[in-house]
Amino acid sequence: MQFKRHDGMACLVLSAFVALSATALPAHGDSSETKNMIDPNTYATVRLTTDLSKLTDKQRQMIPLLIQAAKEMDDVFWMQASGDFRLKIPDLPSPEIKRHATINYGPWDRLKGNEPFVEGVGPKPLGSSFYPPDMTREKFEKYIKDNPEQKTDLEHQYTIVRRNDFGDAPMLLATPYAKAFAKQVQTASKLLKQAAALAEDGGLQKYLSLRADALLSDEYQTSDLAWMDMKSNIIDIVIGPIENYEDRLFGYKSAHEAYVLVKDKEWSDRLAHYAQLLPDLQRRLPVQIAYKKEMPGTDSDLNAYDVIYYAGDCNAGSKTIAINLPNDEEVQLKKGTRRLQLKNAMRAKYDKILLPIADVLIAKDQRKHITFDAFFGNTMFHEVAHGLGIKNTINGKGTVRQAMKDQASALEEGKADILGLYMVTRMFEDGVLKEGEVMDNYVTFLAGIFRSVRFGAASAHGRANMLRFNYFAEAGAFSRDAETGAYRVNMEKMQTAMTELSRLILNLQGDGDYDGAVQLMKEKGIVGADLQADLDRLSKANIPVDVVFEQGSEVLGLSK
């Protein structure tokens, strides 16, 4: 049996979701060594709020319903990330470890390369709980080769893979998410329908209804298109299986998450015209025509939001501060994408993390170039840059995401980072950007590398920043004062390195050069001794790596 991504589905269905079983806890012993591995200053606590006075009564009534639906995605992601480990948290030996397990959705530290921090727990499976815990790339690919009729089902982004060990020849079986997580998605679907009944915006009402149906069918393209068509809504929700970061085995499987959002209309009006510049920016990319022949859709929009609830994948470890969706390549080519800047979360990271990092690692005379507008702009154009380049390889290897497998996410994040800076540079040259100066963006960009590289090798964003730091270091894009340990941007050399790295990544993606991407990450996606020493200085200064949230209806002063 097979099912297609956007058409009707049929699949062998397991009777229940089989939880990851490799995380059984040992008897409690001395946990002092484990406790010492957990730095209480790693995460700064932030309250997620917004001005609700601008909302109508019905909009305020919608928010608790959307938050409840988001919580169902949280339950699903727990199972995808660590099987049944959530049930074991009450038995963990200390409040510090319990808190850390909750932040990481399991016993592996996402900011330390998924290093276990619970005694007796082994390495995190590369496939999380999307596959049997002992699954390897070699085993999976051999099975697909021997059973090609199951390829579509087993590699599908919305299935859980399990092993049927009964009989003489064990089989791999694919269960669609709508079946594997039936309780959670059915509850979420009903909540979205209730919210749709309250929606005063026609586009939002249509999207919520279609998304509710999609959770039950695993057919998301129609609701993605409806989400792209929304223009005037104030309340928004991103919900469902979205990103592929959690599947480090192949990058095939999408993990569940949700954001509940309130639009900041004033800031959104400032951003509206930038998305219209995408076709011209695509034409000017520093690569041959074949690598930029796909024109991004012009229906893309760019808006600023306050995020009032994170759930699931986006809430695990380091937190997202901007969104660029949908990921569906067909929707992107037809409609473009929506780029959502999460302004309140972004401001929290700027104040609590980026500015303190700059005070330690950026040369004193260049610190004046660290600004929130530059941080916001770099983040915004990172998301815009996801729409540039190419989505399908130029040599018949399928989509870039398929061809690059487990390297796809880190390479795509690296592309977006570097092309975002490339776009900023071109826009200052063209006079489109007039506030501040381009040096603000460059120095803030360098400080941002130190912020994001701390997310570690388990994060696609962390590996992308390691790649860029090492590439820039070899190109002389910045220098480091041996006496003070402070870094200084070399504008001319950084611009050259920016252009060359943009070309390299775009060519790797267009060629579907998986081996080339592996080699690039092997050589440059690492933290060297000097960089590690500087990152250790940030830890000794008690500068947080990221944030955790106080969030929910109670924080907002709304009833459940």
Mean pLDDT of 323-342: 88
Kind of pairing between the strands at 546-550 and 43-47: parallel
Q: Which residues pair with 480 in a beta bridge?
A: 487
Q: Which residue has the higher pLDDT, 235 or 459?
A: 235
The structure tokens listed for 486 are 């402070």
What span, in angstroms and rounded, lies between the C-alpha atoms of 195 and 208? 7
Q: Which pLDDT value is given to residue 73? A: 98
Mean pLDDT of 286-303: 81
| Of 77-86, 211-220, 525-534, minimum mean pLDDT range | 525-534
The structure tokens listed for 392 are 């399908």
Mean pLDDT (the chain, rounded): 89
pLDDT greater than 50 at residue 6 = no
Kind of pairing between the strands at 338-342 and 301-312: parallel
pLDDT greater than 60 at residue 276 = yes
Q: Which residue has the higher pLDDT, 526 or 490?
A: 490
Give the count of beta carbons closer than 10 Å to the beta carbon of residue 60.
17
Residue-wise pLDDT tens digits, 116-130? 999 999 999 999 999
Give the count of beta carbons closer than 10 Å to the beta carbon of residue 27.
6
pLDDT greater than 60 at residue 348 = yes
What span, in angstroms and rounded, lies between the C-alpha atoms of 480 and 356? 18
pLDDT greater than 80 at residue 374 = yes
Cα atoms found within 13 Å of the Cα of residue 20, Cβ hemisphere only: 32
pLDDT greater than 60 at residue 18 = no
| Residue 419: band (very low, low, confident or very high) from pLDDT cuts 50, 70, 90 | very high
Q: What DSSP assignment string belongs to 500-551?
A: HHHHHHHHHHHHT-HHHHHHHHHHHSS--HHHHHHHHHHHHTT--SEEEEE-
pLDDT greater than 50 at residue 277 = yes
Q: Which pLDDT value is given to residue 530? A: 86
Q: Which residue has the higher pLDDT, 30 or 263?
A: 263
Mean pLDDT of 406-412: 89
Domain spans in the chain, listed from the N-terminal domain onward = 322-556
What span, in angstroms and rounded, lies between the C-alpha atoms of 92 and 109? 15
Q: Which pLDDT value is given to residue 10? A: 31
DSSP symbol at 319: P
Q: What DSSP assignment string belongs to 206-252?
A: HHHHHHHHHHHHS--HHHHHHHHH--S-SEEEEEEEEE-TT--SSS-
| Residue 57: band (very low, low, confident or very high) from pLDDT cuts 50, 70, 90 | very high
Element (H, E) at 493: helix 491-511
Q: Which pLDDT value is given to residue 294? A: 87
Residue-wise pLDDT tens digits, 463-521? 888 888 999 999 999 999 989 999 999 999 999 999 999 999 999 999 999 999 999 99
Rounded to two decimals, the pTM is 0.80
Q: Which pLDDT value is given to residue 23? A: 43
Residue with tokens 């390479």: 411
Q: Which pLDDT value is given to residue 457? A: 60
SS (H, E, C) 372-441: HHHHHHHHHHHHHHCCCCCCECCCCCCEHHHHHHHHHHHHHHHHHHHHHHHHHHHHHHHCCCCCCCHHHH
pLDDT greater than 60 at residue 546 = yes
Q: Which pLDDT value is given to residue 518? A: 94
Q: Which pLDDT value is given to residue 39? A: 86
Q: Where are the alpha helices (DSSP H) in 218-340?
A: 221-229, 265-271, 278-283, 329-335
Mean pLDDT of 30-34: 46
Residue-wise pLDDT tens digits, 212-250? 999 999 999 999 999 999 989 999 999 999 999 999 999
> pLDDT > 70: what percent of the chain?
91
pLDDT greater than 50 at residue 300 = yes
Mean pLDDT of 79-86: 97
Q: Which pLDDT value is given to residue 19? A: 39
pLDDT greater than 50 at residue 26 = no
Q: Which residue has the higher pLDDT, 511 or 37?
A: 511
> pLDDT > 90: what percent of the chain?
69
Mean pLDDT of 323-337: 87
Evaluate whether 170 touches 135 at the Cβ level (below 8 Å): no
| Of 110-119, 310-319, 337-346, 377-386, minimum mean pLDDT range | 377-386
Q: N- to C-terminal Cα distance for the chain?
A: 42
Q: Which residue has the higher pLDDT, 101 or 36?
A: 101
Residue 456 gets the label, from left (phi > 0), alpha (psi -120 to 50) or beta, of: left
Mean pLDDT of 20-42: 54
